Structure 1
Amino acid sequence: MTDDVKLLMLAGDYVEDYEIMVPYQALLMVGYKVDVICPGKKAGDKVLTAIHDFEGAQTYSEKPGHAFVLNADFDAIDTDEYLGLIIPGGRAPEYLRLNARVLEIVKAFADRPIASICHGAQLLAAAGIIKGREVSAYPACRPDVELAGGTYADIPVTEAVTDGELVTAPAWPAHPAWLAQFLKVLGANVSI
């Protein structure tokens, strides 16, 4: 890999900490350049993150995470420069889907590699790109997937599913499977 192979990542305040930090660092590690953007923000600005954990309650718990420093300007993005898109979960997708430019960005990747995890399916659904596709997400997003015409993949929290160039997973415990499948879709040749 060389750093001229670029990926784009969408972020917003209260993105899930592990779902932005781990893929960002892992993809850098194998040689991709990953530009991370957020509406209304520029390179050097920060987004706040939240750590979601599974502690036996009816839903996940939420704790403050790290501040993530963005490295690209939202308003300057040209989607044609990127091989693929990463959509982390958390609470950010819930409100990012209300931004018309965010939806345009997601739609621009409809026929390219996309890795979406957890609540990222809310952006896929809002962009209208999952009709007829198998999609995993956090279980509370099942209605979003199904109302958008997708088939919800009810898989273990440690697994991921690939449908064409779309790789999805329920939550951060799936990182090993999710990132491995995304790298395969990207055409990466990574082995130890």
Structure 2
Amino acid sequence: MAVKKILMLVGDYVEDYEVMVPFQMLLMVGHEVHAVCPDKKAGDHVRTAVHDFEGDQTYSEKPGHNFTLNADFAAVDPAAYDALVIPGGRAPEYIRLNPRVIEIVKHFAGAKKPIAAVCHGQQVLVAADVVAGCQCMAYPAVQPDIERAGGTYVGPNATFTNAVVSGNLVTGPAWPAHPEWIRKFLGLLGTKIEP
């Protein structure tokens, strides 16, 4: 398997499972993953939040872990990476305001490199204007954003366990979709897992 170099864009109050699970899983299968956050460097951390689905009108939120960054945002050269991951949580709503974040996402989209986004991570894709003509899954509250940006919203099933591939994008509605979302992302990467 050829090792891929993957960039992960995060921020404070990123969803705990949506950063921890993909980060660890991508390392586990042998890829190199750099997690970065605007205005932070390697060794700094971001706080995470656990979003859960407990029968309320929206997700509940609880404190998560501290997640340690392993690369400097200011040093990111998107051309040096093979793929991009954007976890959800509350971080996407404000990291999308950073012009460099938008430049980075536009690079990956323009180069047709694999991009995986989950839950509210699609807010960053919308801000970068890269969802037009694409099918996207996301947390249901992001549906209007996707549709106004020219994308087609694909509603999640009752358990939020599906993901969709559209060109170089693979998107999922929330962390319960991790098995399918990550499997499809690995497919875009060309990752082969040997038994």
TM-score of the pair, normalised by structure 2: 0.96
Is the partner of 2:7 in helix, strand or coil? strand
Counterparts of 1:133 and 1:102, CA distance in 2: 20
DSSP-derived class of the 2:121 partner: helix
Whole-Å Cα distance in 2 between the matches of residues 103 and 77 of structure 1?
13
CA distance in 2, matches of 1:180, 1:64: 28
Report runs of 4+ in structure 1 exceeding 4 Å deviation: none
SS of the equivalent of 1:144 reads helix
What is the CA deviation profile of residues 162-183 of structure 1, one whole-angstrom value per residue up to 9, with x for unaligned ones? 0111100000000000000000
**Cα distance in 2 for residues equivalent to 1:2 and 1:149:** 35
Match of 2:138 in 1: 137
Matched, 1:159 2:162: yes
- What does the per-residue CA deviation read over 1:135-183, in whole Å, with 9 as the maximum and x for residues that have no partner? 1100000011011110001122000000111100000000000000000
User: C-alpha distance in 2, partners of 1:137/1:59?
Assistant: 14
User: What percent of counterpart residues are identical?
Assistant: 62
Measured against aligned partners, the alpha-carbon deviations of 1:81-135 in whole angstroms (never above 9, x if no partner) come to 1000000000000001111000001111101100000001100000000101001
Task: Provide the residue aligned with 1:43 in structure 2.
Answer: 42
Cα distance, 1:191 vs. partner?
4.4
Shift in Å at residue 189 of structure 1?
A: 1.1
Distance apart, 1:2 and its partner CA: 5.6
Q: Unpaired segments of 5 or more residues in structure 2?
A: none
Q: CA RMSD for the aligned pairs? A: 0.9
* Matched letter for residue 146 of structure 1: E
Question: Counterpart of 2:186?
Answer: 183
**1:17 corresponding residue in structure 2:** 16
Any gaps of 5 or more consecutive residues in structure 1? none
Taking the aligned partners of 2:188 and 2:5, their CA distance within structure 1 comes to 14
| Whole-angstrom distance in 2 between the partners of 1:121 and 1:181 | 16
TM-score (norm 1): 0.98
Distance 2:147 2:194 in 1: 36
* Correspondence list, 1:30-109, <5 A: 30-109=29-108
How many residues of Structure 1 are paired with residues of Structure 2 in the alignment? 191
Q: How far apart, in 1, do the equivalents of 2:6 and 2:96 lie?
A: 20
User: Does 2:171 match 1:168?
Assistant: yes
> What is the SS of the residue equivalent to 1:119?
coil
